Amino acid sequence: MYSIDERLKGLPAVKDQVVQLYQSLNAPHLAIPGRKAGPAMAFVLGLRGPSGFAVFVYLYMQESGESAVYVPSNGTVPAEQFQGEESEALGFVESMGFIMDNLNFRGRPPDEQETIIRTMPVFMREPPPPAAGAPMGAPVSSGSGQRTKPGTGAAASVVQLGKLFSAFCLALLMQGCAHVSERDKDQAVLHYEIAVQNLVKSPQVALKEAEDALKFDPTSADAWHIKALVLHKSFQRLEEAQVAYAKALELKDPFSEARTNLGGLYMDQKRYDDAIKQYELALSDVNYRTPYIPQGNIGWAYFRKGDSKQAIETLKAVLQVNPKYCLGEVWLGQVYEAANNTADSCKYFARYREHCPDQPDAWQRDGLCLANAGDKEGASKAFQMCFEKSQNDDQKDLCKQLKEQQK
C-alpha cells in the first residue's frame, strides 16, 4: 500500500542509488488531496539505500506545479522482494489511468543518467514551477513505446544491477535522499572552517557559520559537531547540543571527538554513567589519536560519582600513557586534595605547574601547596607568576591577594 508523505516534495538522489525508473507516457486528469486538480505526470522510482530497497511513486501536477510523493507501507525491503514492490507500485499508478514506460535507467550512458537526474521533477528537492515543468511533459523514450513488465527484459536485471552500486543516502524512507553537489560541499567546508576559527573568540559567528554550512550540506558530520560544541560550551543549550551531537554521530561512526564531547555534555547534566559509556565507546576507536583524553574523562567521572579509588587508578593509568597530560595531573591532584592527602595532591599540582607553566591556575595551586608547607618565599614567587600569567582581572586580584598574605 502507498500513502502520501506530506513532508516530501521530491526524491533527490545520485545516479548510483537509482535501481529502476518509470515515467508515464500520458498525463491523465487527477484530483489529489490538497492539490489543484489537473493533468499529472507519474514516476515510479526504485532506490537502494543503507537498509535495503524501496520503490516510491511521484506525481507531478503540470498546471499547478505541485507534487505528491507516495511512500510504501513496507518501508525498505531486501533485494529479493524488490520486484514485488515494483509490481505493486506500477499497479498503483496504472489504477489511476497512467501508462508507464520503463526508461531503462541503468542501461543508459552516464551522461544521460546525469541529465535525467538533473532535469526530471522526481529528483528535484522542490517541484519545478509550471513554466519550467511543462517541457518535462514529453516522456523520455526507452525505445519500447511501453513499460516493460517486472521480471522480464530490463526489469529482470534490477536486483543484479542494484547490487553493483554502493552509494547510500542518509535516510531513504520518510526523509528523502540527500544529494549534495560538489559546489555545495565546497561552500559548506568554507563555512565550517570559519566556524572553527570563531569557536572561541566569537561563538555567535561560529554558530551562524555552522548553520550556514549545514544549509549547503546537511550531511556534514563535522558541521553538526561544531554546532553542537557551540551550543554546548558557549550557550549551554544542552538539549539542542545533544541533538546535534547525535546527528554528527549518526552521520559519522566512529567519530570519537564527538563522542567525547557528548560525554562532556552528560557530565554537565550529572549523568555520569552515560558519560562513561560515551568515553568508553571513544576509547574503542583504535584510530583515535588522543585516547588519553576520554580515559582521563572516565577517571574524573568516577570521582564526580563518588568513586575516588577508581578515579585514582584510572587517572594514574592515563599519566602512564601521557606523563605530561596536564588536565590529568590537576584532576589527580584534586582527587587527593578532596581526600585530605596534601602530600600527593601537591605532588601532582607541582607536576601540573612544571608541564603547563603558562597556566596561571598551575602557579596558584603550587603556591597554595608551598604556603601550606611553610615556604612563604616560594609561595610568594608562585603567586607572582600567577599574577603575571593571568588574563582576567579577577584572577589577577586573587593572586595578588594571596601573595600579600605571604608577607
Can you tell me the mean pLDDT for 380-395?
92
Highest mean pLDDT among 166-175, 295-304, 392-401: 295-304
Can you tell me the mean pLDDT for 148-153?
38
pLDDT in tens, 173-193: 334 445 688 888 889 999 999
Provide the pLDDT for residue 169: 40
Instruction: Indicate if the pLDDT at residue 362 is higher than 90.
Output: yes
Residue 180 CB partners (closer than 8 Å, separation 6+): 188, 216, 217, 218, 219
Q: Are the C-beta atoms of 247 and 217 separated by less than 8 Å?
A: no
Alpha-helix residue ranges (DSSP H) falling in 269-375: 272-283, 292-304, 308-321, 326-338, 342-355, 360-372
Question: pLDDT confidence of 6, banded at 50, 70, 90?
Answer: confident
| pLDDT, mean over the chain | 85
pLDDT in tens, 309-321: 999 999 999 999 9
Torsional sign, CA 244, 246, 249, 250: negative
pTM of the model: 0.58
Domain parsing of the chain, residue ranges: 2-163
Provide the pLDDT for residue 158: 31
Provide the pLDDT for residue 379: 93
Instruction: Indicate if the pLDDT at residue 21 is higher than 50.
Output: yes
